[in-house]
């Protein structure tokens, strides 16, 4: 029996493409039927498409998140969040401008059903839970367009403003969503930094066990050109030869690369151990002529 498996890249793009299609349908419906609320919900769906694409792009990355040390992988999320907030603010300002002016036209009656139909298609095509903001935005858009149409048909002037009012509420939802994405991305970065500190601690603990290493002065993992590297500074006995110090550094490098396979490059700086003055080392007989504060 032959089994047709959908490629992972195509499967990952399915959800963003569905959101794009729904955004286009809502946008065309809002423009044709004269509903600013439906148009605003189209922008929200476009934002869902971009957010879904970014989410799938991050999930598709083979490299574990704990080793993304540079922080550059979060730049698209930040840019998208800021753009989403700007779009939401623009939607709110246009809605307020419409509410402050006299309205002579109102949406056609199918506008009240455009968003619910798109929501039903979304539930059918994408199995899974629907975010509360999507339910709320769809309800507001349908109610605003329907109320404006009913008010226009019955000659109730104040009901004509329900459509731009609904558009303003949807714009606020878009702004809040963009702000939430910024806060979520910042939280992910802080968690990544905590894990990076844990990795540095593991490195120092491992290197300290190597014979010949007196102290580990520094161990800094970093992301250089998309690959994980480690800059390590160790101190050794100042009385050993340069060749012996190089041998200790070689053992440290081999141990780190063997234990942490994700680290592709290790840079080691070897320094002579200095216990510091005015205190004197008990292991150096040649320091007897040096006075200390304890004498």
pLDDT top residue among 192 and 163: 163
Return d(Cα 225, Cα 37) in angstroms, integer. Answer: 45
Using a 10 angstrom Cβ sphere, with 0-12 exposed, 13-18 middle and 19 or more buried, the burial of residue 128 is exposed
The string of DSSP codes covering 69-125 is -SSGGGHHHHHHHHHHHHHHHHHHHHHHHHHHS-------TTHHHHHHHHHHHHHHH
3-state secondary structure of 236: strand
Where do you find CATH 3.30.70.1350 in the chain? 208-274
The string of DSSP codes covering 10-37 is HHHHHHHHHHHHHHHHHHHHHHHHT-HH
Class of domain 208-274: alpha beta
pLDDT top residue among 100 and 289: 100
232-252 residue pLDDT tens: 999 999 999 989 999 999 999
Return d(Cα 66, Cα 256) in angstroms, integer. Answer: 17
Q: Determine contact, residues 126/182, Cβ cutoff 8 Å.
A: no
Q: What is the mean pLDDT of residues 259-278?
A: 81
Q: What is the mean pLDDT of residues 83-109?
A: 86
* Average per-residue pLDDT for the chain: 78
Return d(Cα 257, Cα 269) in angstroms, integer. Answer: 16
Give the pLDDT of residue 145: 92
Residue 72 has pLDDT above 70, yes or no: no
Give the pLDDT of residue 185: 65
Return d(Cα 116, Cα 119) in angstroms, integer. Answer: 5
Both tokens of 212, joined, read 């010949």
């Amino acid at each position: 029996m032959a089994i047709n498996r959908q490629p992972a890249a195509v499967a990952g793009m399915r959800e963003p493409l569905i959101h794009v299609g729904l955004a286009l349908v809502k946008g065309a419906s809002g423009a044709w039927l004269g509903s600013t609320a439906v148009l605003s919900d189209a922008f929200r769906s476009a934002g869902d498409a971009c957010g879904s694409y970014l989410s799938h792009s991050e999930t598709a990355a083979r490299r574990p998140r704990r080793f993304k040390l540079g922080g550059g992988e979060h730049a698209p999320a930040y840019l998208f969040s800021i753009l989403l907030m700007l779009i939401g603010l623009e939607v709110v300002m246009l809605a307020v401008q419409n509410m402050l002016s006299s309205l002579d036209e109102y949406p056609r009656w199918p506008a009240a059903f455009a968003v619910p139909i798109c929501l039903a298609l979304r539930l059918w095509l994408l199995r899974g839970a629907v975010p509360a903001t999507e339910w709320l935005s769809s309800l507001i858009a349908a109610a605003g367009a329907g109320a404006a149409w009913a008010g226009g048909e019955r000659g109730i002037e104040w009901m004509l403003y329900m459509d731009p009012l609904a558009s303003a509420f949807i714009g606020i939802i878009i702004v809040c969503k963009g702000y939430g994405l910024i806060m979520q991305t910042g939280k992910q970065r802080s968690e990544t930094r905590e894990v990076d500190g844990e990795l540095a601690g593991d490195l120092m603990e491992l290197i300290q066990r190597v014979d010949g290493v007196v102290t580990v002065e520094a161990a800094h993992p970093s992301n250089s050109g998309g690959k994980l590297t480690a800059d390590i500074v160790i101190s050794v006995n100042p009385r050993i030869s340069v060749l012996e110090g190089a041998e200790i550094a070689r053992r440290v490098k081999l141990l780190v690369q063997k234990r942490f396979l994700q680290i592709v490059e290790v840079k080691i700086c070897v320094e002579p151990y200095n216990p510091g003055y005015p205190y004197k080392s008990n292991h150096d007989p040649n320091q007897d002529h040096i006075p200390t504060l304890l004498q």
